[in-house]
């Protein structure tokens, strides 16, 4: 919402659209990759690859926040 307000106010017309477009392009690609990784990684592997799982979970949460 803050980004939309800034764009509407016209304070930073160029900076905001670029950042918004980049985030939108990255979120779908990450979202499509995350679901594929989670099913392929069972609970036992999740324990071994803790860091990667935490990163994927963080990305999934970030994507949900952006979409929400």
* Domain spans of the chain, in order of start: 2-67
**What's the confidence (pLDDT) of residue 30?**
53
Q: What is the pTM of this model?
A: 0.18
**What's the confidence (pLDDT) of residue 31?**
52
Residue with tokens 């995350």: 34
pLDDT at 56 over 60: yes
**What's the confidence (pLDDT) of residue 29?**
53
**What's the confidence (pLDDT) of residue 4?**
56
pLDDT tens-place string over residues 4-53: 555 555 555 555 445 555 555 555 555 555 555 555 555 555 455 545 55
Q: Which residues contact 34 (CB under 8 A, 6 or more apart)?
A: 56, 59, 60, 63
């Amino acid at each position: 919402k803050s980004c939309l307000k800034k764009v509407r106010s016209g304070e930073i017309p160029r900076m905001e659209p670029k950042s918004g477009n980049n985030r939108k392009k990255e979120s779908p690609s990450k979202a499509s990759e995350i679901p594929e990784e989670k099913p392929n990684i069972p609970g036992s592997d999740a324990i071994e690859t803790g860091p990667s799982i935490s990163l994927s979970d963080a990305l999934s949460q970030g994507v949900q926040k952006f979409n929400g």
